[in-house]
Amino acid sequence: MSRMLRDVVLVDAVRTPFGRAGSALAETRADDLVVRIFREILRRNPQLPPERIDDIAVAAATQTGDQGMTLGRSAPLLAGIPRSVPGYSIDRMCAGAMTAVTTLSSGIMAGAYDVALAGGVESMSRHPMGQGMDPNPRFLAERLVDTDALIMGATAENLHDRFPQLTKQRADAYALGSQTKTAHAYAEGWIQPDLVPVAARSAEHGWGLLTADEAMRPETTLEGLASLKTPFRPHGRVTAGNSSGLTDGATAALLASEEMADELGLAKRMRMVSFAFAGVEPEVMGVGPVPSTQKALESAGLTIGDIDLFEINEAFAVQVLAFLDHFGIPDDDPRVNPMGGAIAVGHPLASSGIRLMGNLMRDFERTPSARYGLTTMCIGLGMGGTVIWENIGHTESAA
């Protein structure tokens, strides 16, 4: 018996504001952040009876403590989602939320699910990067990877080495652009509609309410960026200013088959076209989005010239520049991260893939002439992930 693949649509995406590690959300449990965004995404979509959700996947890069206990099951129970709805956890390091979306979407495409809920969370305050990690000694003893592969900043320095045209000056200029675009997006009110305010308690300061990304630095200047230290290498090129900050936060996305979205009266924001993951040398993991994008484009029957909008995770400025150079896109192309990116708002590891999708969702709304957009990111230990989306607003207006 043959089956037709079904179209998957993104119905909605929300996130918490991202707090600086050690600051506003430092004493807030990761699973409570997931509870907050799950409740909000259901509140925003009252047409969906929660019991109609077929499966839930939640990603975390460090799956222990409040990020353990199978978040895809435990957080929905805490959120009041019916017990009949199953769930599981995902780990693909930085691309956890992206993988939650693509894995659940595969089930929708195959007809196993009609509606699914994806999420990602990372408390880098409570779970610092690498905490509790125990790499197999064979990685280094047998030279399977270089020691740099386990230090993300070192992989970014290696990327500068491999592509000498990707200078620190270009990286700093790109970083300044991210801060400027994010400040503009906030001033225009583009980001706030999808932020879920979080009440946060501090033993020292009491209760507070986080309503905006905490790590933004709109006062950034090129002169200031040029003066920053290079912690990963003496006289290096990677600094805190041209890298994403350590942050805490959570994201969620509601997915459905197009038929079920129509049946329930759910919004259809964008349609998944294709997705791909690819591996690269772990020592230069930042180049991962190049082959994953090539694979996704080939699968979709598209070229880079067909893509109207790009949401690229800014783990490091050099990683974005490597992608842009490969595809012949100018550093300051307005199609790239129109609302800024992780250099300004932060990168809570496993949650960031859905932030990219939420940004693209809003990019499409403001640019109805755009038909295709992509979300892409590099992934620790040498990988890249890319999802290509179609703007349903464009296809409906064209019709």
Catalytic positions, written as ranges: 94, 347, 378
In the 3-class helix/strand/coil scheme, how is 295-308 assigned residue by residue? HHHHHHCCCHHHCC
Q: Output the furthest CA–CA distance in the chain (Å, rounded).
A: 65
In this structure, how many other beta carbons lie within 10 angstroms of the beta carbon of residue 135?
13
Q: 97: which 2 tokens?
A: 């939320």
Counting every residue written for the chain, the total comes to: 399
Residue 86: which region, alpha, beta or left (left: phi > 0; alpha: psi -120 to 50)?
A: beta
Q: 254: which 2 tokens?
A: 């509601």
DSSP 8-state secondary structure symbol assigned to residue 331: T
Residue 375 CA to residue 394 CA, distance in Å, equals 18
In this structure, how many other beta carbons lie within 10 angstroms of the beta carbon of residue 175?
28
For the chain, the 3-state helix, strand and coil shares in percent, each to the nearest 5, are 40, 20, 40
SS3 state at 359? helix
| Selection from 389, 228, 392, 193 nearest residue 309 by Cα | 389
Residue 309 CA to residue 315 CA, distance in Å, equals 19
